Amino acid sequence: MIYKTISSSILLIALMLIACDTQNETTNSECESDFTMNVVAPSLQIDENYYYHIEWLEGYTQTFSTLDVITNTQGYNKIYWACNSGITYAGEFVSCVNPASYTNDGVAHTVMSVWEGMVGDTITIYAGFTDWCDIQYVDSIQVIIDDFN
Question: For residue 49, what is the domain's CATH number?
Answer: 2.60.40.10
* Residue 28 within a domain: no
Predicted pLDDT of residue 142: 98
Residues whose CB falls within 8 Å of the CB of residue 47, separated by 6 or more in sequence, listed in order: 53
* Residue 57 within a domain: yes
Beta pairing, strands 78-83 & 92-95: unpaired
* Residue 32 within a domain: no
Predicted pLDDT of residue 149: 65
> Please, what is the end-to-end C-alpha distance for the chain in angstroms?
23
Q: What is the mean pLDDT of each run of 10 residues along the chain (149 residues)?
A: 44 48 50 89 97 95 96 90 95 96 94 96 96 91 91
Predicted pLDDT of residue 29: 63
Predicted pLDDT of residue 32: 81
* Residue 116 within a domain: yes
* Residue 107 within a domain: yes
Question: Closest by alpha carbon to 143, among 36, 60, 65?
Answer: 65
* Residue 31 within a domain: no
* Residue 33 within a domain: no
Predicted pLDDT of residue 27: 43
Range of the domain at 127: 2-22+38-146
Residue 114: its H or E element: strand 107-115
Question: Would you say 125 and 67 are in contact if contact means Cβ atoms under 8 Å apart?
Answer: yes
Residue 20: its H or E element: helix 8-21
* Residue 119 within a domain: yes
Domains identified in the chain, total number: 1
Predicted pLDDT of residue 35: 87
